[in-house]
């Protein structure tokens, strides 16, 4: 009788050029699945999401073409880097400029109690995200096809407790615009990547105060701070 992982791989029907990356992904997450920190169901959904991205890279440019065969380790694992930052998952989160669904969809999968807004302005990519949410049955995810600066005009949402920014260059401007969609004291998490940003911490103004660089759960560098001060006890 095949074990659970072998059965999952059979259901995924992975192409050969994606199998080595999936094997590394599987090996990396195995301890957290065994401990229950990531559920077996979430692990299977992450596998299916990677498969969906792989099949649509050429048509929609969801990731760089050279990343197609490393979608699990380079994009899904990187998206999961914040999972150990907080003692408890936030009640609500916003993924700004989600693109192919990173980091919002993987985080929504492992944090099913967190209400996610996945913001993507390009219609074709937003359409893919809608498809992924539908096929993976993720009731905690809302896809919004709009720009961050259009908040209050073309889209609205309740204030978010946590904001995620990955693969967007101008963090200072993004955070200034994001203040309107954030709850008081909301955390922001920026995925730093391998390339040095064209801005400095001082460019973040008050939102950069107290921000720290940390190592994510899977080795990625994250910059973490707060959008605005936490409300006082008497407020």
Asked if residue 147 is part of any domain, the answer here is yes
- Mutual orientation of helices 40-60 and 4-12 as an angle, nearest 10°? 20
In this predicted model, what pLDDT tens digit does every residue of 57-82 receive, in sequence order?
Answer: 888 989 988 899 999 999 999 999 99
pLDDT bin (cut points 50, 70, 90) of residue 227 is: confident
- pLDDT at res. 234: 41
Model confidence pTM above 0.85: yes
Asked if residue 234 is part of any domain, the answer here is no
Residues whose CB falls within 8 Å of the CB of residue 132, separated by 6 or more in sequence, listed in order: 49, 52, 101, 105, 138
Contact 225, 207 (CB under 8 A): yes
Asked if residue 150 is part of any domain, the answer here is yes
Write the CATH number for 96: 3.40.50.150
Asked if residue 232 is part of any domain, the answer here is no
Query: How far is CA 134 from each of CA 93, 100, 130, 232, rounded to the nearest angstrom?
Result: 19, 15, 6, 40
Token pair of 84, please? Answer: 């150990």
Q: What is the DSSP string of 109-155?
A: HH-TTSEEEEE---HHHHHHHHHHHHHHT-TTEEEE-S-GGGBTTTB
pLDDT bin (cut points 50, 70, 90) of residue 169 is: confident
Question: Could you tell me which of 99, 102, 157 has the C-alpha nearest to residue 126?
Answer: 99
What mean pLDDT is predicted for residues 21-45?
A: 97
Q: How far apart are CA 113 and CA 90, in angstroms?
A: 8
- Mutual orientation of helices 40-60 and 123-136 as an angle, nearest 10°? 150
Asked if residue 233 is part of any domain, the answer here is no
Q: How far apart are CA 100 and CA 71, in angstroms?
A: 10
pLDDT at residue 30 greater than cutoff 80: yes
Q: Which domain holds residue 72?
A: 4-226
Q: Round the average pLDDT of the chain to a whole number and report it.
A: 90
Q: How far apart are CA 140 and CA 200, in angstroms?
A: 34
Consecutive H or E run containing 20? helix 19-35
Q: Domain count for the chain, please give it.
A: 1
- pLDDT at res. 87: 85
Contact 77, 21 (CB under 8 A): no
């Amino acid at each position: 009788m095949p074990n659970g992982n072998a059965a999952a791989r059979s259901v995924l029907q992975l192409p050969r050029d994606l199998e080595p990356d999936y094997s590394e992904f599987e090996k990396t997450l195995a301890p957290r699945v065994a401990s229950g920190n990531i559920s077996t169901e979430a692990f299977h959904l992450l596998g299916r999401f990677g498969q969906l991205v792989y099949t649509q890279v050429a048509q929609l440019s969801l990731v760089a073409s050279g990343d197609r065969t490393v979608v699990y380790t380079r994009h899904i694992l990187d998206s999961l880097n914040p999972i150990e930052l907080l003692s408890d998952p936030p009640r609500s989160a916003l993924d700004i400029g989600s693109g192919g669904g990173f980091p919002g969809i993987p985080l929504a999968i492992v944090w099913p109690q967190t209400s996610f807004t996945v913001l993507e302005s390009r219609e074709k990519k937003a359409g893919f995200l809608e498809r992924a949410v539908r096929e993976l049955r993720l009731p905690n995810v809302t896809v919004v096809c709009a720009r961050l600066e259009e908040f209050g005009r073309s889209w609205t949402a309740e204030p978010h407790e946590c904001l995620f920014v990955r693969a967007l260059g101008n963090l200072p401007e993004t955070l200034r615009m994001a203040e309107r969609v954030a709850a008081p004291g909301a955390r922001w998490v920026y995925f730093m990547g391998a390339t040095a940003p064209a801005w400095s911490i001082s460019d973040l103004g008050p939102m950069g105060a107290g921000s720290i660089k940390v190592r994510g759960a899977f080795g990625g560098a994250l910059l973490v701070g707060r959008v605005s001060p936490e409300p006082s006890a008497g407020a």
